[in-house]
Structure formats: structure tokens, C-alpha cells
Amino acid sequence: MTIANATHLDLAVTRLVPLAKELDENKVTPGVLGFIVFALIGGAVWLLMKNMNKQFTKIDFEEQPAAAGAGERVAKETPEATASRASGPAQRD
């Protein structure tokens, strides 16, 4: 840093000192940086929610009937579904 730059920096600081004295020393505010961080977090949450909604719309499933209607479900099954279930992994007793 050259001497000329240092004097310009000193002049800039001396001009800002009276502005700092006008502020209440006991008051703490987040400032611009706090707002930027909060806005970035809010934007990230919005993007994540948007992506989550897109992923949920891709899910396609058939809802299983209640346990009381289990007998009706067995009657509606096709022979292919029964055969595929029978050829599945063996169950232990």
C-alpha cells in the first residue's frame, strides 16, 4: 500500500467516524449482510420445496384398500399377479 493510498483511506475513515457517532452504540442490527444471508436461505428453501413437489408428482402408486376389504382385493387379482407373488422369495415359517 502506497502512502497516497493510505492518506485516501485515512480521509475516508475520518469522514465516516461522525456518521458512526450518530448511531446508538447499544443497538445491534443484522445489516445488509444479514439480509443477504436470510434472502439466500429463503431462496434455497423455495427451490428445495419446488424440487420436492416435482419429485412427489412423479410418484405413481395405487392405494391399497383397507384391511376390511382384503377379501375383495384377492377376488380382483389376476392370475399373473398371483403367479408372480408365488414365485417370489421363499418365506420362513
**Widest distance between CA atoms in the chain:** 93
The letter for the amino acid at 15 is: R
Residue 7 within any structural domain of the chain: no
Residue 84 within any structural domain of the chain: no
Domain residues for the domain of 50 are 29-58
Residue 39 within any structural domain of the chain: yes
- Please tell me the distance from the alpha carbon of residue 14 to that of residue 19, in angstroms, as a whole number: 10
Residue 83 within any structural domain of the chain: no
**Model pTM?**
0.41
65 in Cβ contact with 73 (< 8 Å): yes
What is the reported pLDDT for 54?
96
Helix ranges (H only) for the chain are 3-22, 31-58, 70-76, 79-86
> Which tops the pLDDT comparison, 23 or 90?
23
Residue 91 within any structural domain of the chain: no
What is the reported pLDDT for 55?
95
Chain centroid, CA 37 distance in Å = 15
Domain count, the chain: 1
Residue 50 within any structural domain of the chain: yes
Residue 86, pLDDT above cutoff 90: no
